[in-house]
């Protein structure tokens, strides 16, 4: 029982440490500055990858 809990904790820690690749911050489309969201993704208008505007610290 304990071992299973430990494994889950390690997986969660690994995801937090970078395997997840989801840095916090504001992302916007270079072509459409009004398009902003809180995670990486694509612009719904032109499909370009969103660019990191400012890192949330
Ligand atoms: Zn766009």
Three-state DSSP at 46 gives coil
Distance 28 CA to ligand 1 centre (A): 8
Q: Are 33 and 55 in contact (CB under 8 A)?
A: no
At 56 the pLDDT is 58
Q: Are 25 and 11 in contact (CB under 8 A)?
A: no
Arithmetic mean of pLDDT, 32-47:
96
More confident residue, 33 or 13: 33
Distance 55 CA to ligand 1 centre (A): 20
Average pLDDT of the chain, as a whole number = 79
- Does the pLDDT of residue 11 top 60, yes or no? no
Render pLDDT for 16-36 as a digit per residue (tens, 0 to 9). Answer: 555 555 568 899 999 999 999
At 55 the pLDDT is 63
Distance 38 CA to ligand 1 centre (A): 15
At 3 the pLDDT is 78
């Amino acid at each position: 029982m304990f071992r299973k809990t430990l494994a889950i904790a390690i997986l969660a820690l690994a995801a937090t440490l970078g395997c997840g690749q989801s840095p916090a911050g504001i992302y916007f489309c270079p072509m459409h500055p009004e398009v902003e969201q809180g995670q990486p993704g694509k612009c719904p208008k032109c499909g370009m990858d969103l660019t990191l505007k400012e890192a949330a610290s």
